[in-house]
């Protein structure tokens, strides 16, 4: 799957989850308080379902969920793996 | 640290669950989050029902009830009890030890060794190691290892970080010397990160006061006082994911045990999400790494592993088919694991306290 499509899908999931249309690829989801640890767990579950992948437990940390670009990179790496 | 014990056995495990069953949904009105978000979490984390001790029920109540049940049903003979090792974070009193209270309530003789250990989620492993060491002196016949906690009393009902997962319970394991295969243990501690799971006030350092009882809301909308359990959920999650797979891998390698020999992985169960991620990372089927305890009974700290065994272990005729791996991780921080054989386990049961 192409990077742009991954980013687009993740953006869609997060916008729907947070009811916030202003979120973009670079928005800091952690410092802006948009994602807490429970949100990340819900997001992981939705991403795994959408992309039919399994994100390794040790990759689930605040650093990898800082913004949509970071999350997309994580998803892309799972695909390549 | 790796330790090997020879010729030890767990001959019986009785788990005692309080009578009050509460559901996840009952707590939702107290959390500062939308119902839909909370319900999504329920599904992912596997939260469902828990059992909570009532206001007056203590660890000694659950323990004495269980031991009397074992005596009444002739699973245990009073004269064979040489020691009571109680692992708890919620003793009846600061002084005296709760194990002495249990000894007194059971009218056990004064040569019964009584010892309280303050440990949590890794408490079953720590307790087993202490019991095995004591049994090595050959002066003791049977030791009762009790893992009991009523931690729900120290959790804020407005804290979704801890409230939906904490259950109460006690598990009594009968430990004795018996010809068996070697039991392999590993244990590690990291006091530097003790703040990850902590009750700040109520001890000697920060005594209870009006100030420490005051509820305060944190950045994520959870409300608790300094007298409640606080958990840094994301830090604890990362700690578990980073240490558990490598701990098990090292234990197996050190003792030259093929992972295929392990018939069950009975792990402590903070929530289903963590257990599923561990099983994925370790490439172990969920069928042999049960994750149903947190949703059926709640997370009762050190009692979770013996409750897990009581609920999920199916004994096989072939001795080698009863080799299991245990792992506990949490408060301290402490992480410990063991490879043991449960062929000697003659009795296991879960009963309700009344």
Over the stretch B219-251, which tens digit does the pLDDT of each residue have? 778 899 999 999 888 888 888 988 999 999 999
- Which residues from A are below 8 Å from B231, CB to CB? none
**Cα B275 from chain centroid (whole Å):** 15
User: By CA distance, what is B240's nearest residue in A?
Assistant: A58
End-to-end CA distance of chain A: 13
Of B219, B220, B241, the CB nearest to A58: B241
A24 in contact with B at a CB cutoff of 8 Å?
no
Q: Give the neighbor-by-neighbor strand order of the sheet with B2-5.
A: B2-5, B183-189, B334-341, B323-330, B264-267
> From CA B177, how far away is CA B175, in angstroms rounded?
7
How many Å apart are CA B354 and CA B352, to the nearest integer?
6
**Chain B residue with minimal CA distance to A35?**
B220
Question: pLDDT per residue over B163-208, tens digit each?
Answer: 999 999 999 999 999 988 889 999 999 999 999 999 999 999 999 9
Residues 40-69 of A with CB under 8 A from B: 40-42, 45, 54, 56-58, 60-62
User: Along the 354 residues of chain B, how does pLDDT read in single tens digits?
Assistant: 999 999 999 999 999 999 999 999 998 888 888 888 888 889 999 999 999 999 999 999 999 999 999 999 999 999 999 999 999 999 999 999 999 999 999 999 999 999 999 999 999 999 999 999 999 997 899 999 999 999 999 999 999 888 999 999 999 999 999 988 889 999 999 999 999 999 999 999 999 999 999 999 987 788 999 999 998 888 888 889 889 999 999 999 999 999 999 999 999 999 999 999 999 999 999 999 999 999 999 999 999 999 999 999 999 999 888 999 999 999 999 999 999 999 999 999 999 998
d(CA B154, CA B166): 10
Phi, psi of B344, deg, nearest 5: -80, -5
Question: pTM of the entire structure?
Answer: 0.92
Cα Rg of chain B, angstroms: 19
The residue in chain A having the minimum alpha-carbon distance to the alpha carbon of residue B219 is A33
> Collapsing DSSP states into helix, strand and coil, what is residue B173?
strand
For residues B121 and B144, the answer to whether their CB atoms sit within 8 Å is no
- Nearest alpha-carbon partner for B25 in B16, B14, B36, B9: B36
């Amino acid at each position: 799957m192409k990077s742009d499509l991954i980013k687009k899908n993740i953006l869609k999931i997060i916008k729907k989850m947070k009811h916030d249309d202003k979120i973009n690829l670079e928005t800091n989801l952690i410092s802006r308080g948009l994602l807490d640890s429970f949100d990340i767990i819900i997001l992981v579950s939705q991403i795994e379902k959408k992309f039919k992948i399994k994100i390794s437990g040790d990759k689930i940390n605040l650093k990898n969920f800082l913004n949509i670009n970071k999350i997309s990179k994580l998803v892309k790496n799972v695909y390549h793996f | 640290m790796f330790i090997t014990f020879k010729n030890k056995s767990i001959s019986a495990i009785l788990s005692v669950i309080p009578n009050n069953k509460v559901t996840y949904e009952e707590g939702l009105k107290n959390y500062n989050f939308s119902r839909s978000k909370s319900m999504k979490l329920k599904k992912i984390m596997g939260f469902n029902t828990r059992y909570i001790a009532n206001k007056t029920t203590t660890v000694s109540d659950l323990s004495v009830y269980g031991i009397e049940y074992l005596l009444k049903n002739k699973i245990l003979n009073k004269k064979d009890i040489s020691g009571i090792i109680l692992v708890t974070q919620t003793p009846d009193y600061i002084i005296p030890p709760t194990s002495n209270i249990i000894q007194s309530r059971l009218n056990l003789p004064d040569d019964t060794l009584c010892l309280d250990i303050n440990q949590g989620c890794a408490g079953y492993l720590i307790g087993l190691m202490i019991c095995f060491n004591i049994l090595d002196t050959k002066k003791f016949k049977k030791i009762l290892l009790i893992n009991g906690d009523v931690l729900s009393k120290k959790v804020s009902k407005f804290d979704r970080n801890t409230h939906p997962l904490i259950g109460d319970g006690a598990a009594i394991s009968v430990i004795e010397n018996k010809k068996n295969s070697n039991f392999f243990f590993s244990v590690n501690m990291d006091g530097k990160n003790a703040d990850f799971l902590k009750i700040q006030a109520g001890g000697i350092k920060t005594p209870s006061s009006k100030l420490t009882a005051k509820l305060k809301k944190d950045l994520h909308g959870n409300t608790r006082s300094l007298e409640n359990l606080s958990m840094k959920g994301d830090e604890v999650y990362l700690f578990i994911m980073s240490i558990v797979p490598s701990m098990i891998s090292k234990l197996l390698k050190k003792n030259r045990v093929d992972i295929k020999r392990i018939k069950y992985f009975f792990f402590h169960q903070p929530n289903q999400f963590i257990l599923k991620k561990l099983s994925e990372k370790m490439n172990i089927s969920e069928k042999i790494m049960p994750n149903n305890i947190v949703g059926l009974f709640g997370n009762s700290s050190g009692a979770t592993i013996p409750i897990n065994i009581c609920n999920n272990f199916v004994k096989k005729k072939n001795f080698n088919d009863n080799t299991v791996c245990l792992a506990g991780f949490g408060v301290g921080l402490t992480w410990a694991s063991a490879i043991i054989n449960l062929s000697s386990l003659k009795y296991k049961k879960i009963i309700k306290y009344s």
